[in-house]
Structure 1
Amino acid sequence: MRKLHRAATVIAALAIVGLAAPTAPAAAAEPVNQHCVAQANVDNPQAVCFDTFTKALQFASGGVLYELPKGSSVSARVDALNAGFGVNVVRTVISIEYTGSNYTGSDLIWTGTSGNCSTPTGNVDYFASSMPAGWDNVISSFKTYANCWDKHHENTNFGGASVGYEPSRSYIGGAMDNRTSSHRWS
């Protein structure tokens, strides 16, 4: 009887301890990717953000989004968009910056109003002397469009270390990963 009473006491104690034991913390929520648009060649560029890339591209296009078949690549959509403006340029997508390597994570679509970049990289066609709020020191990869090559600078106003002018890169490289604070496009 004593053994039975001890067993019942131990089981009860374990049950109470089990109920009082702290629970494991809930898993952290997955980060939500943002899809933002900013205009180059303006003082203090501001980002306008959306919950989908399609909405961001619609905004970046000035409302002229080219509908391509489902599954069309981002590059195909941007190229179709830029080609559709012809001589009546509204906005041109010049690059898309990503917070993750291999074009992943949140994205920032840079637009300009002067059409395609010229061929030589000795001149500056577009610039951003600072990054929009929330986009300083977060760039890990980028794609360029409209004949533009991108140069990333470590500090605002094109100071510090830099990398470029370059076309698209799936990884910006260790020297500039998460260190972009200004841009030039040529």
Structure 2
Amino acid sequence: MRTGHLKSVGVFAAAGSLLAFAPATATAATARTPQHCTVSVEGGDMRCFDTYRQAIAAATGGLVADAPLDVETAMADPSFADRIDRAGETVGARAGEARAGDAQAGDARPGAAAAAAAVVLSTEYEHGNFGGASLSVTGPSACGSARWQLALGADWNDRISSYKTFNNCQVRHWEHTDFSGANTGYQVGDQDWIGDLNDRASSIDFTYGESPTTAQLLKDCGKATESCDFRPTGNASYSYGGAHEVARGYNCSSVAQTRKMTWTEQTSGENSVSTEISVTAGFDFLEKFEVTFKASYGHKWAWADTFAEETTLQVPAGQVGWVDRNTHLQSASGTYELHYKSKHWGHYVWYVKNFSGTGPVPQEAGVVTWNTRKMTAAEKNAQCKGRAAFVTAEPGAEGAAAPTAPAGAASARSAATVSSGR
């Protein structure tokens, strides 16, 4: 709902009693389109900056001074949300120390440190998928017993399309400036689309909303849930993990040798929460990923694959030969939607978004090559002295190329995010 009113800000206790309500004055930023702004639920002017980094530095009082320059990069980095939450904990601790100091001095009013403290409650985005301009809303503490309310000013009225919460907050968006009309219901975490209130929100309120980790949700998938489904996004992609040695042999004779080298290699995949959940642990969500991948893309998926092959290796006299394999990998990403019979963390529905997996293409050799070079004196002494004409050795012996990490493994760990439904 569009209004001609100036922005007003309200702060309410959990029971709804009014603590403060003050109109904010217009700023110079209202004369132009805001890029990255901050505003407090306690009142005061909206401040706008050219970069998201500057806005977050201002919103956190300098505790997070090196945020990404743009919101898209920030949203792709889960460590950024952790830093915002840690900054909120620091602000809370400082406020507690300030209050304790005031009490000892016989002053019941908040100290200077507490008054200057700010905690990021949410960042609101102009476009879906966390794009465009941003508005970071701050409060005096993380969400808990207090309930914070904010009526959006002219710059952000009817403008929000997506949002993200921080510091144990869940947020509800309202159609009108007086917290009435249609609303989104309380949501927590990453919400890449506001839904029916797209470009229609005129006020928002915050309350406590605990958010589970991706690992907690995925461990519940198919076990503690009524339903759990994986929905892939986009096309599957294919890559190679890098050439690495799988077999080696030394020709200790004075004539060329031809040998059939039998080798076996087991390759494990990666997923976006692999630091917390192993792909070999047998969780139901891994099986759902496999089934959905095959149904969607027509190819079998494997989180781990053991491949065996025989390679004919021709090694000239006095040389060492080795077999390299470049493993063929496949990757896919999407969203898990989990439905619980009763409320978990305050909601029936939870999402794990941007989950990604990378695994070996089952029973495919990839690219297999063999190479030779002249043995060093040390190798001749170690491998050929008093031994057979041709000596095999374990992969990774002296002179071998080091195995390369699968492509996409590092990026897969940094993508998954959590958001709530109803």
TM-score for the superposition, normalised by structure 1: 0.70
Contact 2:57 2:66 in 1 (8 A): no
Distance 2:45 2:34 in 1: 18
Question: When you count strand as a share of all residues, which structure comes out higher?
Answer: 2
- Which residue identity is paired with 1:146? N
**Paired position in structure 2 for 1:117:** 143
Displacement of 1:86 after TM fit?
3.7
**Paired position in structure 2 for 1:6:** none
Which of 1 and 2 has greater Rg? 2
> Aligned to 2:81, which of 75, 80, 102?
75
**Paired position in structure 2 for 1:166:** 187
5+ long unaligned stretches in structure 2: 1-32, 96-116, 208-422
Contact 1:68 1:77 in 2 (8 A): no
Displacement of 1:81 after TM fit?
2.2
**Closer, same or farther: CA 140–98 of 1 in aligned 2, 3 Å:** same
What percentage of aligned pairs have identical amino acids?
32
- Which residue identity is paired with 2:131? T
- Which residue identity is paired with 2:121? I
Displacement of 1:94 after TM fit?
0.2
Distance 2:136 2:67 in 1: 19
5+ long unaligned stretches in structure 1: 1-31
Q: Give CA-to-partner distance per residue, 1:120-166, whole Å, 9 cap, x none.
A: xxx752111x2123100000000001111001000011011111211
- Which residue identity is paired with 2:170? W
Distance 2:67 2:134 in 1: 20
Contact 2:157 2:200 in 1 (8 A): yes
- Which residue identity is paired with 1:63? G
Distance 1:183 1:102 in 2: 19
Distance 1:133 1:47 in 2: 11
Aligned Cα RMSD in Å?
2.4
Distance 1:38 1:68 in 2: 18
**Paired position in structure 2 for 1:127:** 149
The answer to whether 1:56 aligns with 2:74 is no
**Paired position in structure 2 for 1:15:** none
The answer to whether 1:154 aligns with 2:175 is yes
Tell me which stretches of 4 or more aligned residues in structure 1 moved more than 4 Å.
66-72
Q: Secondary structure at the match of 1:164?
A: coil
**Paired position in structure 2 for 1:29:** none
Higher RCO structure, 1 or 2 (CA under 8 Å, sep 6+): 1
Q: Secondary structure at the match of 1:57?
A: helix
Displacement of 1:67 after TM fit?
4.4
Distance 1:61 1:102 in 2: 23
Alignment length (residue pairs)? 146
Distance 1:84 1:133 in 2: 32
**Paired position in structure 1 for 2:161:** 140
Q: Give CA-to-partner distance per residue, 1:21-69, whole Å, 9 cap, x none.
A: xxxxxxxxxxx87000000143xx6421000111101111123335479
